[in-house]
Amino acid sequence: MSTQPLDKTAGGDRRPVTVPQIAEMKRAGERIVMVTAYDFPSAQIVDEAGVDIVLVGDTAAMVVLGYDATTPVGMEEMLMMTAAVPPWIEPARSCGPASR
Report yes or no on 1 lying in a domain: no
DSSP-based three-state secondary structure for 94: strand
Report yes or no on 64 lying in a domain: yes
At 88, the amino acid letter reads W
CA angle 8, 5, 23 (to 5 degrees): 130
**What is the rounded CA–CA span in Å between residue 3 and residue 63?**
31
DSSP-based three-state secondary structure for 100: coil
Report yes or no on 100 lying in a domain: no
Report yes or no on 23 lying in a domain: yes
Domain boundaries, position 67:
8-94
- pLDDT tens per residue across span 86-95: 766 655 455 5
Per-position b or e across 28-60, b if 16+ CB within 10 A of its CB: eebeeebbbbbeeebbeebbeeebbbbbbbbeb
Report yes or no on 17 lying in a domain: yes
What's the pTM value of the predicted model, to 2 decimals? 0.62
Inter-residue contact 37 to 81 (CB < 8 Å) = no
- pLDDT tens per residue across span 33-89: 888 888 888 888 888 888 888 888 888 889 888 999 988 888 888 888 888 877 666
Beta bridge partners of 8: none
Report yes or no on 2 lying in a domain: no
